[in-house]
């Protein structure tokens, strides 16, 4: 088993944090995104989407998509549960994971990729050539601002995003906020719930993974 | 228990098909998106994101996000399994569900919302006012074309998207293709694997849900 990773990228970090919380160690191979190794023939042969992370199983099969990789490890080692342990908790955690991903992590990526000069012609992850879109950079920026507001509101009476337990929703949230910071999008000083939560999850040893 | 639904919209249809495949019937209440009931105060009070579908549990709690709602029903009634029954299958189905959602359903929505005159000032689902983006409409159109190509390729030797069993990935795929059709984006005649698969899943009674 092996994880294809890129140390600097936000999505592989989600899996690394997840594994650190589970106490699972597996071999890791770096795929250099700056050198565009992810869209080279060798890599596209095992992942036609050209994305990292990618999990290679012992039977030679591959699983891409961070959350699908996390699901695999949640199923093989349920403890500690990071995706919920009863139907309602599973649904609630999945809901928040998705909300944070769709409204925070993705807009942060759209803002960054569509404005940073290094991504000219690569307005999307993967092998597709795509012009940067100033519209999308602006929309991403607006949406990240709204995301901070809503998440601050959600965290008013909760220790973690999905309730009283740390979960995969917190992992996506932490990574989303750090990724938004690449575009200098940061919570305001008045968003005290959000900031206290951030400090809480960022202080866990897994945050360094 | 109650499902907030809107009969014409793609996302609630995912949940309705899922429930039909499970043979689960629950009370349904329509939220009229054309009348903007979803961004009215009453609805925002139970779902600040202003989206449908929304599941109201018997304890009064609410779960939004189609896939999170499906997860709840998968956990309370595992049979027939639509999200996998062992770790590898669960991961593979989640991977394909996400790939189809991210690369098919979402671009189809971006193409439609950012070009149709009825969505002026509402380039995004939910309560946020957002100008339509011609860039995003174009990007969505290109991405849907690529999605058809890749899915046709994936289906070369498979009966269903995630393998030999019908799963939630097929539900998202069916809904994505029908939604893309709203913008007159349709598979080409040469995409025979994709067309055969579409006919197969569309012929199931659940497709009418």
Q: What's the pLDDT tens digit per position in B103-139?
A: 999 999 999 999 999 888 888 887 888 889 999 999 9
Q: Concatenated DSSP letters for chain A?
A: -EEEE-TT-HHHHHHHHHHHHHT----EEE--TTTTGGGSHHHHHH-TT--S-EEEPTTS-EEESHHHHHHHHHHH--SS-SS-SSHHHHHHHHHHHHHHIIIIIHHHHHHHHTT-GGGTTB-SSSS--B---HHHHHHHHHHHHHHHHHHHHHGGG-SBTTBSS--HHHHHHHHHHHHHHTTT----TT-HHHHHHHHHHHTSGGGG-
Beta bridge partners of B130: B122
pLDDT tens, per residue, chain B with 209 residues: 999 999 999 999 999 999 999 999 999 999 999 999 999 999 999 999 999 999 999 999 999 999 999 999 999 999 999 999 999 999 999 999 999 999 999 999 999 999 999 888 888 887 888 889 999 999 999 999 999 999 999 999 999 999 999 999 999 999 999 999 999 999 999 999 999 999 999 999 999 99
Residue B95 is nearest to which of A65, A98, A133, comparing CB atoms?
Answer: A65
pLDDT attached to residue A108? 97
When scoring B51, B135, B158 by the number of chain A Cβ atoms within 10 A, the one with the most, hence best to mutate, is: B135
pLDDT attached to residue A155? 97
Q: How far is B105 from chain A (nearest CA, A)?
A: 13
How buried is residue A204: exposed, middle or buried, by Cβ count under 10 Å (0-12/13-18/19+)?
middle
Pairwise CB contact (< 8 Å): A95 & B136: no
Those residues whose C-beta lies under 8 Å from the C-beta of residue A91, and which sit 6 or more positions away, are A84, B55, B63, B68, B69, B71, B72, B75
Whose CA is closest to A10, among A122, A173, A201?
A: A173
Residue A136 is nearest to which of B69, B86, B136, comparing CB atoms?
Answer: B136
**ipTM of this complex prediction, to 2 decimal places:** 0.96
pLDDT at A100 over 90: yes
Phi, psi at A143, each rounded to 5°: -65, -40
B91 touches chain A (CB under 8 A): yes
pLDDT attached to residue B128? 82
Distance in angstroms (rounded) separating the CA atoms of residues B4 and B27: 9
When scoring B14, B62, B68 by the number of chain A Cβ atoms within 10 A, the one with the most, hence best to mutate, is: B68
Distance in angstroms (rounded) separating the CA atoms of residues A144 and A110: 10
Q: Concatenated DSSP letters for A38-96?
A: GGSHHHHHH-TT--S-EEEPTTS-EEESHHHHHHHHHHH--SS-SS-SSHHHHHHHHHH
B48 CB neighbours in chain A (<8 A) are 150, 153
A39 touches chain B (CB under 8 A): no
Residue A123's pLDDT band, with cuts at 50, 70 and 90, is confident
pLDDT attached to residue B123? 84
């Amino acid at each position: 088993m092996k994880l294809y990773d890129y140390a600097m990228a936000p999505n592989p970090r989600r899996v690394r944090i997840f594994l650190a919380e589970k106490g699972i160690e597996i071999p890791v191979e770096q795929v250099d995104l700056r050198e565009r190794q992810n869209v080279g023939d060798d890599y596209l042969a095992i992942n036609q989407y050209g994305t990292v992370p990618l999990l290679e199983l012992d039977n030679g099969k591959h699983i891409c998509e961070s959350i699908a990789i996390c699901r695999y490890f949640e199923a093989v080692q349920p403890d500690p549960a990071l995706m919920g342990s009863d139907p309602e908790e599973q649904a609630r955690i999945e809901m928040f994971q998705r909300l944070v991903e769709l409204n925070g992590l993705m807009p942060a990526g759209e803002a960054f990729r569509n404005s940073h000069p290094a991504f000219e012609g690569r307005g999307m992850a993967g092998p597709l050539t795509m012009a940067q879109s100033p519209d999308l950079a602006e929309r991403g920026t607006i949406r990240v601002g709204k995301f901070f507001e809503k998440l601050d509101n959600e965290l008013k009476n909760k220790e973690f995003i999905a309730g009283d337990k740390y979960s995969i929703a917190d992992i996506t949230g932490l990574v989303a906020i750090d990724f938004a910071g690449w575009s200098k999008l940061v919570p305001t000083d008045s968003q005290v719930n959000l900031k206290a939560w951030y400090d809480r999850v960022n202080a866990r040893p897994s945050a360094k993974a």
